[in-house]
């Protein structure tokens, strides 16, 4: 009895690629899509072919085309969750495939240890220099942020569907991500069920999910509310020394090393003392009474 009851449960530690409620929802959508596409194509093809062929042949060809298109539509809708996961990891899959293909080709052309040495040398040449290492690290964080944002939105969708008892809304579409001086900037395209106002209070939760310090969300378009910009802050770039270019305006310091005057926000601001400039006289009070 215990074995039978435990066999129907999911094993501890297993991760489903597509959750059962979402999978059942896509099964229903696939059936509806197959029915609608099949009937529409059947009627349309039969009506068009009846002009050129006998009615019985037009009906047969219309039914065949409707069945084929219905099966294709059902398969596309059914495998969409898996295809979407593959699309989410497309960059990583492409990078690993290219590296593995290059290593295999070089190993066949020479030997496996020469291919390994070349791969190690290229990796060291990319990651050891400071500028290239920072470049790769910044863009790697963009990939991490995309996955963390998707995971955070998936959690919000599951909690919302459980509370409301409605089908889960579609996840926001992650358009593009690029590094900034403070962290990363991501552009989202919101689907029906999400709004910028409903996400404004979720900034701390998204920051925790993205391993960031702060997350700010704002509209990226004045004409479309679905386009949202997410600014992820990991560090404060103004805490470091900033070279002030104002010293280059002085002719005597243009070709001097003293022209690079560091300015730090940690230094308290002091007032300006113009000793050679006389203070303007105080305005004299107006004479005369009220008329």
Q: Distance between alpha carbon 115 and the CA centroid of its chain, in Å? A: 34
pLDDT at 288: 56
Residue 55's pLDDT band (boundaries 50, 70, 90)? Answer: confident
Contact 215, 230 (CB under 8 A): yes
Weakest-pLDDT range from 75-79, 85-89, 281-285 = 281-285
Residues across the chain: 291
* Residue 81 CB-density burial (10 A; 0-12 exposed, 13-18 middle, 19+ buried): middle
Average pLDDT over residues 193-222: 87
Answer yes or no: is pLDDT of 232 > 60.
yes
Residue 227's pLDDT band (boundaries 50, 70, 90)? Answer: very high
Residue 246's pLDDT band (boundaries 50, 70, 90)? Answer: low
User: Cα separation of 165 and 158, whole Å?
Assistant: 10
Residue 192's pLDDT band (boundaries 50, 70, 90)? Answer: confident
Give me the residue spans of the domains in the chain.
17-88, 129-233
pLDDT at 14: 45
pLDDT at 19: 56
Sequence-separated (6 or more) residues with CB below 8 Å from residue 19: 158
Domain 129-233: assigned CATH number: 3.30.980
């Amino acid at each position: 009895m215990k074995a039978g009851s435990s066999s129907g449960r999911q094993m501890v530690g297993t991760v489903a690629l597509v959750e059962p409620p979402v999978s059942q929802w896509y099964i229903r959508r696939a059936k509806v899509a197959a029915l609608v596409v099949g009937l529409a194509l059947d009627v349309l093809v039969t009506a068009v072919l009846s002009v050129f062929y006998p009615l019985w042949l037009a009906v047969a060809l219309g039914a065949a085309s409707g069945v084929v298109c219905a099966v294709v539509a059902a398969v596309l809708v059914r495998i969409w969750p898996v295809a979407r996961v593959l699309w989410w990891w497309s960059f990583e899959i492409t990078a690993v495939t290219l590296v593995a293909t290059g290593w295999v080709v070089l190993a066949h052309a020479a030997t496996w240890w020469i291919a390994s040495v070349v791969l190690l040398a290229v990796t060291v040449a990319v990651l050891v220099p400071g500028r290239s290492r920072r470049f790769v690290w910044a863009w790697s964080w963009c990939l991490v942020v995309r996955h963390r944002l998707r995971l955070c939105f998936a959690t919000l969708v599951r909690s919302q569907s459980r509370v409301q008892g409605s089908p889960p809304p579609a996840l926001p579409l992650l358009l593009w991500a690029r590094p900034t001086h403070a962290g990363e900037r991501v552009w989202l395209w919101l689907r029906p069920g999400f709004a910028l106002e409903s996400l404004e209070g979720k900034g701390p939760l998204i920051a925790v999910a993205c391993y960031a310090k702060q997350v700010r969300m704002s509209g990226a378009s004045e004409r479309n509310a679905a386009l949202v910009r997410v600014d992820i802050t990991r560090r404060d770039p103004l805490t470091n020394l900033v070279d002030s270019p104002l010293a280059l305006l002085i002719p005597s310091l243009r070709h001097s090393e003293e022209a690079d005057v560091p300015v730090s926000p940690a230094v308290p601001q002091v007032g300006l003392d113009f000793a050679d400039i006389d203070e303007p006289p105080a305005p004299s009070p107006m004479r005369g009474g009220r008329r």
